[in-house]
Amino acid sequence: MLGIISFIGFTALVAIISYFATRKTDETSSDGYFLGGRSLTAGVIAGSLLLTNLSTEQIVGLNGSAYKDGLSVMAWETLAAIAIVVTAIFLLPRYLKGGLTTVPQFLAKRFDVTTKTITSILFLTGYVVVLLPVILYSGSVAVSGMFDVPTLLGVSNDTALVICIWGIGIIGSIYAVFGGLKAVAVSDSINAIGLLIGGVLIPIFGLMAIGDGSVLGGLDTLISSNPERFDSTGNPGQEVPFATIFTGMMLVQLFYWGTNQQIIQRALGAKNLAEGQKGLLLASFLKILGPIILVLPGMIAYHYFDNGLASSDLAYPELVRAVLPKPLVGFFAAVLFGAILSSFNSVLNSSVTLFGIDVYKQHINPDASENVIVKYGKIFGICLALAAMFIAPLIADAGSLFDYLQEINGIYSIPIFTIIVVGYLTKYVPAIAAKIGIVSGSLLYMLSQFILKPFVFGEENYPHFLHVMAFLFVLNIIIMLIIGKMYPRKEPFVLEYTNQVSIEPYKYVKQVGIAICFIVIAIYVYFAR
């Protein structure tokens, strides 16, 4: 009962603070609704970025991967820091200079409207078919298990799951659809504090449990008992072979942190470039600490349960249940609920933005007023949320989806990233090259992973999907450059300054960025065995 009370209390506190923080924001305009009035500060941006990134399948899934493979899976976290630095220094100045609300808007200016529409539809398809239902399902499994909802309500496991899915979906929709980006960002920032506190408590209590009450003693026991699991470079057969760090891993990170609408939308809402850069750099530094929450508990569970769990995906929830004091369970559940909610409402808000700006205004009602765009964006958001809530129960095995999601997202991530890179780094590559690049990139990746890999070469004899991504990235760039040489634009592309916000950079952005990259490299060198 105490756990449920603390859960409800913390969740209600976040909702109340979010309401008072956003009630004066003008959300009748697209900037006010989609970008929080371009008023977000560094702390809000950093907190929102971290919470948007964290979700149940990542917290449970990445710790499950660490349970299997050890420290090498930290690449998903630590390399993100370098990608965020690159975004802060090179991409964000260009985004804010162009006054973008969505990343595909740039593609319309650089190439043409058709390229932008194809990209927006790819984003929306990935969000609706894969991301939203998976977030709802995996989050509901966690909440249902933590509170033992079937026993609490006297219902079956399946019914409890559906109740949790609709509960999370409805609350998340209220934040995202009716509150706009600022409500999402403010609630994220508050939950970020709780997640950092709660997330750090799990490894602390876990280390104390294996170290006879001593955190340092537990760490010493963990390292000395299985030193080979503290190898940052990993082995070829593991989830993240070391070689992939230099190929597709960095491309995935750069796409996710630099061009993925659900993530970069927080920085697009910055009050100026300096605040946006400071927010990204703060998030980048905190990302280095991510393995403490997302990798270390899985490694502790490996030792605590003596590698005896039936599934690696049970590592995190079983460790929480075993080591966390009962009075803290409700608080941690509220924090986890915040992470689930954050991922759901952030993806939903980004989907609403893409539809309102890139589909409705562009193709359905070009003369629509700002108020009408927001209105129909909200209607689309409600439909989207309902669709995700109906699809979510059909997902059978959420725990194994972490690695699978990284692979399947390559269908749209690398092609989109390719045309954005070529768009910014060249002036004469034409629109037809972008269309061919994005279509060929998607089709070739699907041919590789879903036909050649399983039916022709076999799983064991085929390159890692991150290597495939890197190869296709280079191939697509070559194709686009050849087309640009043969059929160049008549006039060079020039990125115009729209004067939406100040683009005076943070004066220490490069120095801080270099320092963060140095820390990441030092961590890898230190743990290399």
Q: What's the per-residue H, E or C state across 257-303?
A: HHCCHHHHHHHHCECEHHHHHHHHHHHHHHHHCHHHHHCHHHHHHHH
Q: Give me the chain's average pLDDT, please.
A: 83
CA neighbours closer than 13 Å in the CB half-sphere of residue 41: 3
Q: At what angle do helices 42-53 and 329-353 cross, to 10 degrees?
A: 100
Confidence of residue 197 (pLDDT cuts 50, 70, 90): confident
pLDDT-above-90 percentage for the chain: 34
pLDDT-above-70 percentage for the chain: 86
Q: What is the DSSP letter of 37?
A: G
Intervals of CATH 1.20.1730.10 along the chain: 2-408+490-499+507-527
Q: Are 269 and 33 in contact (CB under 8 A)?
A: no
Q: How far apart are CA 346 and CA 49, in angstroms?
A: 10
Q: Taking the CB of residue 407, how many other CB atoms lie within 10 A of it?
A: 17
- pLDDT, residue 467, reads 93
Q: Taking the CB of residue 207, how many other CB atoms lie within 10 A of it?
A: 25
DSSP codes, 447-465: HIIIIIIIIII-STTS--H
Residues in the chain: 529
Cα 89 from chain centroid (whole Å):
20
Dihedral over Cα of 125, 127, 131, 133: its sign: negative
Q: What is the pLDDT of residues 272-286, one digit of tens each?
A: 999 999 999 999 998
- pLDDT, residue 445, reads 94
Asked if residue 34 has pLDDT above 50, the reply is no
- pLDDT, residue 403, reads 65
Asked if residue 8 has pLDDT above 50, the reply is yes
Contacts of residue 272, defined as CB under 8 A and 6 or more positions apart, other chains included, come to 96, 501, 502, 503, 504
Q: Taking the CB of residue 208, how many other CB atoms lie within 10 A of it?
A: 16
Highest mean pLDDT among 210-214, 319-323, 334-338 belongs to 210-214
Overall average pLDDT of the 239-267 stretch:
87
Q: How far apart are CA 62 and CA 70, in angstroms?
A: 10
Q: How far apart are CA 103 and CA 4, in angstroms?
A: 41
Overall average pLDDT of the 235-259 stretch:
88
Lowest mean pLDDT among 28-32, 159-163, 342-346: 28-32
Identify the residue with better confidence: 5 or 70.
70
Which CA distances in Å does 314 have to 36, 59, 200, 297, 307? 38, 11, 19, 11, 11
Asked if residue 33 has pLDDT above 50, the reply is no
- pLDDT, residue 336, reads 77
- pLDDT, residue 102, reads 75
Tokens 């160049």: give the residue: 488
Q: Are 78 and 288 in contact (CB under 8 A)?
A: yes
Q: Could you tell me the two tokens for 25?
A: 């924001």
Confidence of residue 310 (pLDDT cuts 50, 70, 90): confident
Lowest mean pLDDT among 99-103, 495-499, 503-507: 99-103
- pLDDT, residue 399, reads 44
Q: Are 107 and 337 in contact (CB under 8 A)?
A: no
Q: What is the pLDDT of residues 486-497, one digit of tens each?
A: 999 999 998 888
Q: At what angle do helices 273-288 and 261-268 cross, to 10 degrees?
A: 130
- pLDDT, residue 175, reads 61
Asked if residue 36 has pLDDT above 50, the reply is no
- pLDDT, residue 498, reads 84
Overall average pLDDT of the 186-206 stretch:
78
Asked if residue 473 has pLDDT above 80, the reply is yes
Lowest mean pLDDT among 14-18, 120-124, 202-206: 14-18
Q: What is the DSSP letter of 172?
A: H
- pLDDT, residue 515, reads 96
Q: How far apart are CA 464 and CA 455, in angstroms?
A: 16
Q: At what angle do helices 401-408 and 410-425 cross, to 10 degrees?
A: 40
Biggest CA–CA distance in the chain, Å, is 72
In DSSP terms, 272 is beta-bridged to 502
Overall average pLDDT of the 429-458 stretch:
91
Confidence of residue 176 (pLDDT cuts 50, 70, 90): low
- pLDDT, residue 182, reads 52
- pLDDT, residue 524, reads 93
Q: Are 201 and 332 in contact (CB under 8 A)?
A: yes
Asked if residue 375 has pLDDT above 70, the reply is yes
- pLDDT, residue 376, reads 81
Q: How far apart are CA 5 and CA 330, in angstroms?
A: 7
Which CA distances in Å does 217 have to 58, 137, 202, 315, 527? 28, 38, 16, 21, 19
Highest mean pLDDT among 57-71, 203-217, 340-354 belongs to 203-217
Overall average pLDDT of the 501-507 stretch:
89
Q: What is the DSSP letter of 311?
A: -
DSSP codes, 316-352: HHHHHHHHS-GGGHHHHHHHHHHHHHHHHHHHHHHHH
Confidence of residue 22 (pLDDT cuts 50, 70, 90): low
Asked if residue 475 has pLDDT above 90, the reply is yes
Dihedral over Cα of 209, 326, 204, 284: its sign: positive
Q: Is residue 387 within a helix (H) or strand (E), and if so which, with residue range?
A: helix 370-391
Q: How far apart are CA 349 and CA 344, in angstroms?
A: 9
Q: How far apart are CA 99 and CA 276, in angstroms?
A: 13
In DSSP terms, 270 is beta-bridged to 40
278: left (phi over 0), alpha (psi -120 to 50) or beta: alpha
Q: Could you tell me the two tokens for 445?
A: 């990746």
Overall average pLDDT of the 386-398 stretch:
76
Q: What angle do CA 70, 471, 489 make, to 5 degrees?
A: 135
Asked if residue 429 has pLDDT above 50, the reply is yes
- pLDDT, residue 224, reads 93
Asked if residue 27 has pLDDT above 50, the reply is no
User: Judging by beta carbons within 10 Å of its beta carbon (0-12, 13-18, 19+), is residue 478 exposed, middle or buried?
Assistant: exposed
Asked if residue 170 has pLDDT above 80, the reply is yes
Q: State the CATH class of domain 2-408+490-499+507-527.
A: mainly alpha
Confidence of residue 104 (pLDDT cuts 50, 70, 90): confident
Give first-to-last CA distance, the chain, whole Å.
Answer: 48
